[in-house]
Amino acid sequence: MKVIEIDNLKKTYSESEVEVHAVNGVTLDIEEGEFTAIVGPSGSGKTTLLNMIGGLDIPTSGEVIIGGSNMNHLNGSELTDFRKNNIGFVFQAYNLIPVLTAKENTEFVMKLQGKSKVECEKRSKELLESVGLGERINARPNKMSGGQQQRVAVARALASKPKFVLADEPTANLDSKSTETLLDIMEKLNKEENITFVFSTHDARVVKKARRVITLEDGKILSDVRKNGGE
């Protein structure tokens, strides 16, 4: 089943009267349960593409359709609600709320969704245990390592039971051991719970784990390879 459909997507910026085509006519589908890496050199359009998929950036033209909903047809508040209920985000900078514990950070989106206190506490505990932080649920970000903070960010991204998770350079600030642990956790969640992951990355370790690798260059798809042999 297709969870993301992208048709002739473009994003153009004007810099000193020169048009820059950050994303230039990308068409692709992401199937449920895929573990996909979007790669390419700096300036190739990876993050811009991911931001448009997630509704964080508005396309110049083209369409992003998620679960049958055309993102172009949603107004500001509808888009906010749609992201909250359908998309999990993992950012390079973690973006945890400093004054909240790991448990409270994980519960945050669920509370915005109006879930009960009991449900929030149960799911946050389960998720933090699943990412190996069951004993750190009451720790605040400044008492955790970068790898632990990123695992909290993964738990938070999954808390709302999203259709898929977008991860923008999630390993960029991590050491090799933390990267390996994080990728193993995400791969396990992908395989056991059929959670769809889409990464933008420079990291060869992420690319190695991915089962589909989409390479961008100058805002266009250069190649799209599934590691089971299909393309």
Indicate whether 229 pLDDT > 50: no
Section 137-143 average pLDDT: 95
| Domains of the chain by start residue, with CATH | 2-226 (3.40.50.300)
Q: Count of CB atoms within 10 A of residue 217's CB?
A: 14
**Distance in angstroms (rounded) separating the CA atoms of residues 171 and 192:** 22
pLDDT one-digit tens code per residue, 22-81? 999 999 999 999 999 999 998 899 999 999 999 999 999 999 999 889 998 998 899 999
Full-model pTM: 0.90
Question: Which amino acid is it at 87?
Answer: I
197: alpha, beta or left? (left if phi > 0; alpha if psi -120 to 50): beta
pLDDT in tens, 146-192: 999 999 999 999 998 888 999 999 998 888 888 999 999 999 889 98
